[in-house]
Structure 1
Amino acid sequence: MEVELEYLIQNFQGFTSKMAKIILPLTSKQVKEAKPTLRAYKLYDGAGLILTVYPSGKKVWRLDYKDLNKKRKTYTIGDAQHISLSDARKKRDELKGILENHQSISKKDIMTFGQVFYEWFDKWKLLVVESTAKRALSSMKKDCFPVIENMDITKIKPKNIVAALSPIDERGSGETLEKTKSALKLTFDYAVARGICDMNPVLAVTASAFTAHETKHHRALDASKIYMLHDFFMSNRNSIIVRKCTEFTLRTMCRINESVCATWDEIDGNTWTIPAERMKERRPHIVHLTKQSMSIIEEMKKFKSSKYIFQNDHLNHHIHKDTPNTAINRYGIDSTVHGLRSLASTVLNGTCLFDKDLVEMCLSHKDKDAVRAAYNRALYLEQRKEILIFWSDFIDMCDTEENNIKTLEKFKLIQLNDD
Structure 2
Amino acid sequence: MPKLATPLTDIQVRNAKPKDKTYTLADGNGMYLEVMPTGKKRWRMAYRQPNGKNNRLTFGEYPLVSLADARDKCLAARKLLKGGIDPAKDREEKKRAANTLASNTFEVIAREWHKKKAESAWQPQTAEQNIKAMERDLFPQIGRLPISEIETPLMLEVLQQVEKRGALEVTKRIAALASGIFKYAIVKGFRNYDPIPALKDHLKPRAKGHHASIVVAELPDLLKAISKNEGRMYPPNRIGLRLMLLTFVRTSELIETPWSEIDLKNEQWVIPWQRMKMGAKRINPRMVDHHPFLPRQGWELLRELHQYTGGSKYLFPNRRDHEKPLSNGMILQALKRMGYGGRMTGHGFRSLAKGVLKTLKYPVDRIERQLSHASGEVYGGAYDREDFLQERKEMMQHYADYLEQIERGNVIIASFGKTAA
Normalised by the size of structure 1, how large is the TM-score?
A: 0.62
Counterpart selection for 1:178 from 172, 187, 190: 172
Distance 1:345 1:416 in 2: 12
Is 1:390 paired with 2:384? no
Map 1:72-83 onto structure 2 (within 5 A): none
Tell me: CA distance 1:381–1:237, structure 2 relative to 1, closer, same or farther (3 Å): farther
Can you list the C-alpha shifts for 1:263-296, whole angstroms capped at 9, x where unaligned? 1123355132145256376256512332333333
Indicate how the Cα distance of structure 1 residues 164 and 274 shifts in structure 2: closer, same or farther if over 3 A, else same.
farther
Aligned partner of 2:262 in structure 1 is 267
Alignment of 1:404-415 (within 5 A): 406=411, 408=413, 414-415=414-415
The aligned residue for residue 18 of structure 1 is none
CA distance in 2, matches of 1:400, 1:329: 25
Deviation at 1:109, TM superposition (A): 9.3
CA contact (8 A) 1:220 1:342 kept: yes
Classify the secondary structure of the residue corresponding to 2:270. strand
User: Could you tell me which amino acid in structure 1 is paired with residue 367 of structure 2?
Assistant: V
Q: Would you say the 8 A contact 1:249–1:256 is kept in 2?
A: yes
Structure 1 residues 233 and 308: CA distance shift in structure 2, 3 A: farther
Contact 1:258–1:274, Cα closer than 8 Å, also in 2:
no
Q: Which amino acid aligns with 1:180?
A: I
Instruction: Please point out which of 367, 372, 387 is paired with 1:359.
Output: 367
1:240 corresponds to 2:235? yes
**What's the offset of the Cα at 1:398?**
2.8
Structure 1 residues 195 and 287: CA distance shift in structure 2, 3 A: farther
Give the counterpart letter for 2:269 in structure 1.
T
Q: Is the 8 A contact 2:152 2:195 kept in 1?
A: yes
Matches within 5 A, 1:146-225: 146-206=140-200, 208-215=201-208, 217-225=210-218
CA shift for structure 1 position 161: 2.0
Q: By how many angstroms is 1:250 displaced?
A: 2.5
In the aligned structure 1, how far is the partner of 2:330 from the partner of 2:128? 19
Give 1:321's aligned residue: 328
Q: Aligned partners of 1:178 and 1:129: how far apart in 2?
A: 20
Residues 251 and 293 of structure 1 are in contact (CA less than 8 Å); yes or no, is this contact kept in structure 2? yes
2:350 equivalent among 331, 335, 341: 341
The DSSP-based 3-state class of the residue aligned with 1:250 is: helix
Return the TM-score normalized by structure 2.
0.61
Q: Structure 1 unaligned runs (5+)?
A: 1-101, 409-413
Distance across 2 between alignment mates of 1:332 and 1:148? 39
Q: What do the CA deviations read for 1:362-397 (whole angstroms, capped 9, x no partner)? A: 323485xx8548x36844565366335423432322
Partners of 2:248 and 2:370 within 8 A in 1: yes
Number of residue pairs matched by the alignment:
308
Contact 2:374 2:383 in 1 (8 A): no
| Contact 1:233-1:247 within 8 A present in 2 as well | no
- Which of 218, 224, 246 is the equivalent residue of 1:251? 246
Residues 1:114 and 2:112 are matched in the alignment: no
Map of 1:73 onto structure 2 = none
Give the aligned partner of residue 300 of structure 1: 305
The structure that has the greater radius of gyration is 2
AA in 1 matched with 2:203: F
Unaligned runs of 5+ in 2: 1-94
